[in-house]
């Protein structure tokens, strides 16, 4: 069947379809806003222990993230109750036996803190329903980019594992970028970084054990149909086969100033700040 697009009825049908399509796209955000909007901060904290076989006589001292002297993951205060699990004893400890004071970095006088876990028997394995995986996740909508969490200069301003050895990250700096609405920094990466953890357990020679933790902070917004993000992360991970007794050096990644940051002096961001002040 051939349609005569000059016929009034056909024109009416086409206009109706175009109107409905435009309404759908507007209501679902398909017509993009060129000004920055939908600001949020996201935080993710995780502690994981995995073993392919049972472990016995277990004692672990695992680094906790510290912010301004307290155990904190982003905005979430960590407590012994958060880590509590059946048949596992939990305590926060400042100075485990045998800890070398040089196994830490100095951040505004804050002292490192360890999560002590003890158990007669531990078999952390998802396949058998005994997984040891603790996760805190939180997304916080924000009214203004001024409320973004710190990800450029996290040392002293953000949650961090302090049990670092030979830790000397380079300073970041602003680098040229073509988008006038964006500030770009040279990303700071320490890969691998080294953290000291205490691991003591008995097992068969074939038991494979993985212990790790991370804290990730992200800020994001939308602009011109795209999501822009910046981030900071701190982590450690340890692998071993067979039993082990004593202090171990784990690997990990420290990363800061990654991604995109608002250039608050640009006209687009000045409009955003003016709207946030007027609210």
C-beta separation of 167 from 105 below 8 A: yes
pLDDT for residue 80 is more than 70: yes
pLDDT beyond 90 at 278: no
Contact criterion met (CB below 8 Å) for 88 and 136: no
pLDDT tens for each residue of 182-226: 999 999 999 999 999 999 999 999 999 999 999 999 999 999 889
The stretch 239-253 carries a mean pLDDT of: 97
Could you give the CA distance from residue 162 to residue 82 in angstroms, rounded to a whole number? 20
CA distance 56 to 245: 12
Task: Give the global pTM.
Answer: 0.85
Tokens for 213, please give them: 């933790």
E strands, the chain, are 37-51, 55-63, 65-67, 70-73, 76-77, 89-93, 114-122, 132-142, 160-161, 164-165, 174-175, 182-185, 188-202, 208-223, 226-241, 244-259, 261-262
Question: Does pLDDT of 79 surpass 80?
Answer: yes
Tally of CA atoms within 13 A in the half-sphere of 195 that contains its CB:
30
Query: Where do the domains of the chain lie?
Result: 1-31, 36-278
């Amino acid at each position: 069947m051939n349609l005569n697009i000059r016929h009034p009825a056909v024109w009416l049908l086409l206009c109706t379809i175009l109107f409905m399509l435009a309404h759908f796209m507007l209501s679902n955000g398909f017509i993009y806003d060129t000004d920055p909007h939908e600001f949020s901060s996201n935080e993710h904290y995780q502690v994981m222990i995995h073993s392919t076989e049972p472990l016995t006589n277990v004692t672990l001292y695992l680094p906790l993230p510290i912010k301004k002297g307290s155990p904190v993951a982003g905005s979430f205060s960590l407590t012994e109750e958060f880590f509590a699990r059946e048949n596992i004893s939990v305590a926060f400890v400042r100075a485990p036996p045998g800890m070398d004071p040089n196994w830490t970095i100095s951040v505004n006088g804050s002292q490192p803190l360890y999560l002590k876990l003890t158990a007669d028997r531990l078999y952390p394995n998802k396949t058998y329903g005994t997984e040891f995986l603790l996760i805190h996740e939180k997304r916080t909508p924000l009214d203004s980019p001024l409320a973004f969490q710190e990800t450029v200069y996290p040392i002293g301003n953000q949650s961090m594992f302090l049990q670092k050895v030979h830790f000397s990250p380079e300073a970041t700096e602003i680098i040229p970028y073509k988008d006038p609405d964006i500030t770009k920094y040279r990303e700071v990466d320490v890969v691998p970084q080294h953290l000291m953890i205490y691991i003591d357990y008995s097992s068969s020679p074939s038991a494979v054990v993985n212990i790790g933790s991370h804290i990730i902070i992200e800020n994001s917004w939308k602009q011109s149909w795209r999501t822009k993000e910046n981030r900071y992360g701190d982590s450690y991970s340890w692998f071993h086969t067979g039993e082990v007794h004593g202090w171990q050096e784990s690997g990990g990644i420290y990363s800061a100033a990654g991604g995109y940051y608002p250039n608050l002096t640009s006209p687009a961001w000045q409009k955003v700040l003016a709207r946030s002040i007027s609210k």
